[in-house]
């Protein structure tokens, strides 16, 4: 069971990890696609959203021995205002492998 995904050297505790291989529409090559959920506290909100705005990541999933460049395919959150003290939101993220 995957518990940690590392995005650009930032470890994130995850739940509901999913993994598959898809064909890149542009290149026709097989690339990894992963999806997962994670909780974000009001204290971590700024750092996490700043990280996600980068859009392109170096992804590591130690439990699966995955290590690949990726870009965001889909992203959602359960709340829109995590600036309120003690608020916690559930984020959902899908990443697709890309060529460097």
Distance (Å, whole) CA 15 – CA 34:
12
pTM of the model: 0.91
The total of structural domains in the chain comes to 1
Whether 5 and 61 have beta carbons less than 8 Å apart is answered as: yes
Q: Average pLDDT for residues 30-40, to the nearest whole number?
A: 97
Give the Å distances, CA to CA, from 59 to 8, 27, 43, 53, 97. 7, 20, 23, 15, 9
- CATH number of the domain bearing residue 28: 2.40.30.80
More confident residue, 21 or 79: 21
* Backbone phi, psi, residue 13, to 5°: -75, 125
Per-residue confidence (pLDDT) for residue 2, from 0 to 100 = 94
Q: Which domain holds residue 77?
A: 4-97
């Amino acid at each position: 069971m995957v518990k940690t995904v590392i995005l650009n050297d930032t470890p994130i505790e995850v739940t509901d990890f999913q993994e598959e291989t898809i064909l890149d529409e542009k290149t026709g090559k097989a690339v990894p696609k992963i999806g997962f959920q994670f909780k974000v506290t009001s204290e971590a909100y700024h750092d996490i959203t700043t990280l996600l705005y980068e859009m392109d990541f170096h992804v590591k999933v130690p439990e699966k021995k995955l290590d690949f460049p990726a870009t965001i395919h889909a992203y959602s959150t359960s709340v829109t205002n995590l600036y309120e003290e003690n608020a916690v939101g559930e984020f959902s993220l899908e990443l697709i492998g890309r060529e460097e």
